């Protein structure tokens, strides 16, 4: 590491080479435990100067902490250039910085570390991300230190159990707006001073800066604010009333549930460009990806999703921010609870009462898929060895499975005992850290039940059970109904379940009615006879898990499965329909039902579906299954049937409705009718009420590009008329989708080798690359993925690398050759843990696709 030191006792100024290539080392749990035994952090005072042009900024940090006298420790730190370092007034040798860490020795009982340095902006969504808006040239910043990126902004003790108060100052261009976790104390021109925060973990410290458009409000004594890029000002203004209303409704509901009121002063929500997550729960300043401020017409289900995310992040103010996990093995204490409470509170407090339908249809399917892959893990694993492993656990298990398990726990304990336990937990650990054992203790005390056995089978053991109904009739009545529970051979755990059973019949007037609904307890024996149904008249459809109380794979008895195509469209309970659709899709994924049968059901039932989220999710899942499970010979006919289903739904949907928009999007994605797509772009034969706005125009261009009916010139012309962040991203995806050798080569090289390409553009370029219609052209890139993706993992890091690797995987190149190449890559030593997981899971999906084709 070359050093250039000034002389005569002046502050050491050290330039560090290879600023783009320095990799933050992973922090092991053992290191974190050792450091926490030595150090108690008190405060961070951070002063940032972001006025200079270019790719760097100035950072000055004063870190106050207590320690064992004479001990040694380290802080995460990744500077481009060191200006000065001092500990308790004594200069520290710049050589103490290396491999992403600042090492300190000879600590006092009370310490003050002062560091001035030049740091680098990021374009991967981590550290301090810098974005230039193509619409107007404005620059925007947001800080995202998660999981171990704190050292990219300042030296810090970057682990969740070393909480501290943060006080931030920022010098920015005078026409910028700056916001942080803390409340604004003063502003003098371009200098912004913020109040100290409560004690928070390093990964929760954030800020935004730039020419943000601001809307403010207040509710119940809590100042509220919304921020979005200047180019989105009119769109934020159009959405502000709804966002504020949902925010207020959710705050009120959480205050009804929890005895500790919202604990972080103001409640600000910023919508930032190129944000990797959907949102992040920074206390006092929640940050969302700015796609949640739509510039085009969106469906009601998309508005519901935004409401759910608002409620999810607000739940984190208690679960994650007020009480924080001690280490990443208890990630579920953050995400499972926020997923469960977000869904619940959005349903109870806002106009979106169907969030549990969305959960059953969409979120739980995410959990089930993750839980059956090679990378499966317990909801609460007993060991997460380091921060690299922690990043991999941000998946459908930690979110959706954990939330489904909590829904089951509430059904078992009762809501009163559940909330009493949560409130006791908050009271005991406010502004500190807690573990699984701490929470279970509080819930057990409140409910009077020992939860250790429940936690062992539901939280500590991986994989999912399958529940099947077995029915024997005696004439027109049930002689015996039993629920059989099975588990995979490698994960043989059987679990107790509280599950609903619904009996549906077709009435004389043609409607379908639920004649009876009952809840039963399934033990872990493997077969439970439902004695309550003996002698009951047999139903046309017996729905297992009616009400979606438990987390399991559901399989209907043969007679009920046969009745689904006739009865499904006539059931008036959207949650029941979601449970049936989810079970059907899951059976196709497992190869128990052919994809042709699914397509036939889509044609029969989807045109009558009124719940938009069901339409959207069925079309998304069916399209993915058709692309991978159907053969090259059968896929065109299957896709044509999906197009017919969407066309019928389009005709049946009211003008201007969400259903109409969902049907139009589905039709565009499935049809091969080029003249119709071009006509809609030209404004010809567009269904009444359907608005062909900017994003729908791009979707039309994208499908035409895939079909080889558009070209670079048309994409460039559309981009010229839509010089926006969304336009730039859509254009990147469309270019990658063009069936032209030069376009494919440029897109591939951009993803694999272009380190200047931002996180979002890399992800969307990769997402447009693989198309089932173009397999002949793309054959050579299958081998290139496995040969070149390890190098991409050195160009991109963290979540940006994971997203690009997943999007670029040749999942539509379904063949044993693809699997062989995957196996060869997985045998390589030193493979990135992120890439290893991506390939293992994608290869398992391909195993299923090959089995289904067979």
Q: Which residues are catalytic?
A: 313
Environment class of 836 (CB within 10 Å of its CB; exposed 0-12, middle 13-18, buried 19+): middle
Beta-bridge mates of residue 74: 103
- Three-state SS for 325? strand
Cross-sheet strand order for the sheet of 497-506: 512-522, 497-506, 541-544
CA proximity to 117, closest of 144, 148, 156, 88: 156
> Angle between the 332-349 and 233-257 helix axes, to the nearest 10 degrees?
100
Q: Secondary structure of 164-216 in the HEC alphabet?
A: EEEEEEEECCCCCEEEECCCEEEEECCEEEECCCCCECHHHCCEEEECEEEEE
φ, ψ dihedrals at 308, nearest 5°: -65, -40
Confirm if 329 and 398 have CB atoms less than 8 A apart: no
Alpha carbon 41 to its chain centroid, in Å, reads 31
DSSP string, 576-626: HHHHHHHHHHHHHHTTSS-HHHHHHHHHHHGGG---HHHHHHHHHHHHHHH
- Dmax of the chain from CA atoms? 101
| Cα distance between residue 571 and residue 505, in whole Å | 10
Beta-bridge mates of residue 544: 501
Confirm if 75 and 63 have CB atoms less than 8 A apart: yes
Residue with tokens 């017996």: 542
- Give the pair of three-digit tokens for residue 562: 């046969």
Confirm if 580 and 543 have CB atoms less than 8 A apart: yes
| Cα distance between residue 494 and residue 570, in whole Å | 34
Neighbours of 803 (CB within 10 A): 23
CA proximity to 47, closest of 103, 119, 97: 119
- Three-state SS for 433? strand
φ, ψ dihedrals at 138, nearest 5°: -70, 145
Cross-sheet strand order for the sheet of 285-289: 212-219, 222-229, 267-272, 285-289, 279-280
Q: Is 106 left (phi over 0), alpha (psi -120 to 50) or beta?
A: left
- Give the pair of three-digit tokens for residue 211: 């020419």
Neighbours of 759 (CB within 10 A): 25
φ, ψ dihedrals at 465, nearest 5°: -90, 155
| Cα distance between residue 606 and residue 467, in whole Å | 26
Confirm if 273 and 256 have CB atoms less than 8 A apart: no
Neighbours of 270 (CB within 10 A): 28
- How many Cα atoms are found within 13 Å in the side-chain-facing hemisphere of 639? 22
Q: Is 475 left (phi over 0), alpha (psi -120 to 50) or beta?
A: left
Residue with tokens 């106050």: 64
CA proximity to 354, closest of 568, 660, 614: 614
- Determine how β-strand 222-229 pairs with β-strand 267-272: parallel
In sequence order, which residues have a C-beta less than 8 Å from that of residue 201 and are 6 or more positions away? 159, 160, 161, 162, 163, 324
């Amino acid at each position: 590491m070359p050093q250039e030191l000034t002389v005569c006792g002046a502050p050491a100024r050290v330039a560090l080479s290879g600023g783009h290539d320095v990799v933050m080392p992973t922090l092991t749990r053992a290191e974190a435990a050792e450091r926490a035994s030595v150090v108690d952090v008190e405060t961070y005072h951070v002063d940032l100067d972001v006025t200079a042009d270019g790719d760097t900024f100035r950072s000055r940090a004063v870190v106050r902490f207590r320690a064992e006298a004479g001990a040694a420790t380290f802080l995460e730190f990744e500077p481009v250039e060191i200006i000065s370092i001092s500990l308790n007034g004594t200069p520290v040798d710049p050589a103490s910085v290396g491999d992403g860490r600042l090492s300190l020795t000879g600590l006092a009982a009370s310490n003050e570390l002062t560091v001035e340095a030049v740091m680098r902006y990021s374009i991967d969504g981590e550290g301090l991300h810098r974005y230039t808006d193509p619409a107007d040239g404005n620059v925007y910043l947001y800080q995202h230190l998660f999981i171990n990126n704190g050292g990219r902004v300042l030296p810090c003790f970057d682990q969740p159990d070393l909480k501290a108060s943060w006080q931030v100052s920022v010098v920015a261009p005078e026409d910028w707006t700056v916001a942080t976790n803390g409340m604004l104390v003063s502003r003098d021109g371009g200098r912004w001073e913020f109040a100290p925060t409560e004690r928070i973990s390093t990964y929760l410290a954030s800020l935004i800066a730039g020419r943000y458009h601001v809307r403010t409000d207040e509710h119940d004594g809590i100042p509220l604010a919304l921020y979005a890029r200047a180019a989105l000002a009119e769109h934020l203004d159009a959405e502000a009333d709804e966002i504020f209303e949902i925010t207020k409704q959710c705050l009120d509901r959480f205050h009804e549930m929890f005895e500790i009121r919202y604990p972080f002063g103001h409640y600000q929500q910023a919508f930032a460009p190129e944000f990797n997550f959907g949102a992040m729960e920074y206390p006092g300043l929640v940050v969302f990806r700015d796609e949640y401020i739509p510039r085009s017409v969106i469906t009601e289900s998309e508005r519901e999703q935004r409401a759910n995310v608002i409620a999810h992040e607000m739940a984190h103010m208690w679960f994650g921010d007020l009480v924080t996990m001690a280490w990443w093995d208890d990630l579920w204490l953050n995400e499972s609870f926020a997923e469960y409470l977000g869904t619940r509170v959005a349903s109870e407090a806002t106009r979106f009462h169907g969030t549990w339908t969305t959960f059953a249809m969409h979120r739980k399917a995410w959990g089930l898929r993750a839980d059956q892959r090679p990378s499966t893990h317990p909801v609460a694993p007993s060991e997460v060895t380091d921060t690299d492993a922690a990043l991999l656990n941000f998946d459908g298990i930690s979110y959706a499975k954990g939330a489904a398990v909590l829904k089951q726990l509430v059904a078992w304990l009762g809501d009163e005992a559940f909330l009493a336990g949560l409130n006791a937990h908050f009271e005991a650990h406010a502004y500190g850290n807690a573990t699984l054992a701490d929470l279970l203790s509080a819930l057990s005390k409140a409910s009077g039940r020992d939860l250790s056995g429940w936690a062992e089978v539901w939280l500590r053991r991986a994989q999912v059970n399958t529940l099947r109904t077995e029915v024997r009739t005696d004439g027109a009545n049930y002689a015996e109904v039993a629920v059989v529970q099975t588990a995979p051979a490698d994960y043989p755990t059987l679990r107790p379940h509280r599950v609903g059973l619904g009996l549906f019949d077709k009435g004389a007037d043609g409607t379908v009615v639920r004649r009876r609904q009952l809840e039963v307890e399934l033990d872990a024996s493997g077969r439970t006879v439902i004695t309550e149904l003996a002698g009951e008249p047999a139903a046309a459809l017996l729905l297992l898990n009616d009400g979606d109380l438990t987390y399991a794979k559901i399989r209907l008895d043969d007679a009920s499965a046969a009745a689904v195509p006739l009865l499904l469209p006539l059931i008036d309970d959207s949650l029941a329909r979601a449970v049936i659709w989810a079970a059907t899709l899951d059976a196709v994924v497992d190869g128990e039902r052919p994809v042709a049968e699914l397509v036939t059901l889509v044609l029969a039932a989807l045109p009558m579906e009124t719940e938009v989220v069901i339409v959207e999710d069925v079309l998304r899942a069916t399209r993915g299954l058709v692309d991978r499970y159907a053969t090259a010979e059968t896929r065109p006919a299957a896709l044509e049937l999906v197009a017919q289903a969407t066309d019928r739904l389009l005709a049946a949907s009211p003008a201007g409705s969400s259903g109409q928009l969902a049907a139009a999007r589905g039709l565009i994605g499935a049809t091969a009718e080029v003249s119709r797509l071009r006509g809609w772009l030209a404004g010809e034969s567009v269904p009444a009420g359907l608005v062909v706005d900017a994003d729908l125009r791009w979707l039309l261009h994208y499908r035409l590009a895939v079909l080889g009916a558009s070209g670079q010139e048309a994409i460039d012309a559309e981009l010229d008329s839509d010089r926006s962040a969304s336009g730039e991203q859509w254009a990147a995806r469309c270019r990658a989708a063009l069936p032209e050798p030069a376009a494919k080569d440029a897109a591939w090289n951009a993803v694999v080798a272009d380190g200047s390409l931002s996180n979002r553009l890399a992800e969307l370029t990769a997402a447009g690359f693989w198309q089932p219609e173009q397999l002949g052209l793309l054959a050579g890139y299958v081998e290139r993925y496995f040969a070149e993706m390890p190098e991409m993992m050195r160009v991109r890091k963290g979540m940006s690398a994971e997203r690009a690797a997943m999007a670029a995987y040749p999942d539509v190149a379904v063949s044993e050759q693809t699997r062989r190449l995957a196996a060869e890559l997985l045998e390589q030593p030193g493979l990135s843990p992120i890439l290893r997981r991506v390939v293992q899971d994608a290869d398992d999906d391909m195993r299923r696709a090959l089995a289904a084709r067979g």
